[in-house]
Structures are given as structure tokens and as C-alpha cells.
Amino acid sequence: MSIEHIVSAIRDVPDFPKPGIVFKDITPVLSDPVAFKASIDVFADRYRDQNIASMVGIDARGFIFGAAVADRLGIGFIPIRKKGKLPSKSREVSYDLEYGSATIEIHEDAVQPGQRVVLIDDLLATGGTAAAGIELLQGLEAEVVEAAFLVELGFLDGRRKLGDTAVFSPIIF
């Protein structure tokens, strides 16, 4: 299965969430079993032989890709959640979004120092959410091998916010 099939399943939604924005909607990728499997294959193939301990998914669409890739690789999955959603002792980071601000958190015992992880989400836009996720993971002394996204909006230059962290995006608009 090709990247072109995945790209063809991504829907443009004009003027969402506000006028002038063209939203890249990946939900058709999720509902197309061929496109969804192909997207998981892309990530699983990339990380299969990299000694990754866990996929770390950002709330909420990062959970979909991260859990599926973790299952395919036989490794753990760690959620980074929106503030107030984790039941145990957690660490949090607040950051600015394109349209406001947010706070995300991770359990303090989610990773061990030196544990090799991949941060995964559906889309890299301005990079604020991913940068906050990396900050959380590095604060727990995890080794963030890479930040992975199905789609990257390259014109927004979100990679710049991720510092030295390697970025993988098979689809760049």
C-alpha cells in the first residue's frame, strides 16, 4: 500500500476551526481499513529494529496511532493526557496553541530514565503540543528517539520548536 492512498483519504475542511484555515482531517484514514493499516505499517516498519521500549501518544489522536503501532511491535504504550485526566501522580507542562493555550500531563512513573521512546501524534502543525510532550519525556529522563506524525504542515515550521529531536512525517503538506 502506498502513501498516495493514505494522502487520498485525507479530507480538506475549509474554514475550520476558523475562516481562512484549511483543516487536514485524518478521520477518513481511520475509517478506511486499507489506509489505516498502511499508516500503521509505515510507523511499524520504521521502528521495528530500533529497540524502542514504548510509543508515547498525545491525547487524543496520538492514542490511535501509538497504541496500534505499540501493539504491532509488541511494546508498551504510554498516554500523554490533557490536564486532569490522569489518576496517579503526574507531571504537567503548559504551552501555547495556534488558538489558545493548553496543559498536558504524564504519570511520573510512566517511563524510566534512559528508556527509548517515540512520541507520536497524527499531525505536526506549529509544534507546541509536541514540544510540550518532549519536555515532559525529557523531564522524566526518557530518550526521545524521534517525534512521529502521520501528517506535517511543513509551511508552519513546527519542527523548529522541537529542537534537536528527530522528526519523522511520511506526509508533508
46 is catalytic: no
Q: What is the mean pLDDT of residues 7-20?
A: 94
The average pLDDT across 41-69 equals 98
Residue 96 scores a pLDDT above 90 = no
Please give the full DSSP string across 149-164, using - where no structure is assigned: EEEE-GGG-GGGGGTT
Query: What value does the mean pLDDT take over residues 103-129?
Result: 97
The one catalytic residue among 61, 72, 91, 116: 61
pLDDT grade, residue 2 (50/70/90)? confident
Please state, in angstroms and rounded to a whole number, the distance separating the CA atoms of residues 21 and 8.
Answer: 19
Helix (H, G, I), strand (E, B) or coil at 127: coil
Question: SS3 breakdown of the chain: % helix, strand, coil, rounded to 5?
Answer: 35, 35, 30
Among residues 11, 48, 98, 160, which one is catalytic? 98
Domains and CATH numbers, the chain: 50-172 (3.40.50.2020)
Q: What radius of gyration, in Å, describes the C-alpha atoms of the chain?
A: 15
**Helix residue ranges per DSSP H, the chain:** 3-9, 27-31, 33-47, 61-73, 128-139
Give the pLDDT of residue 18: 87
CA separation for the pair 135, 140 (Å, rounded): 9
pLDDT for 102 beyond 90: yes
Query: Does the reported pTM lie above 0.85?
Result: yes
72-83 mean pLDDT: 98
Average pLDDT value for residue range 131-160: 98
Can 61 be counted among the known catalytic residues? yes
Q: What percent of the chain has pLDDT over 90?
A: 94
Residue count (the chain): 173
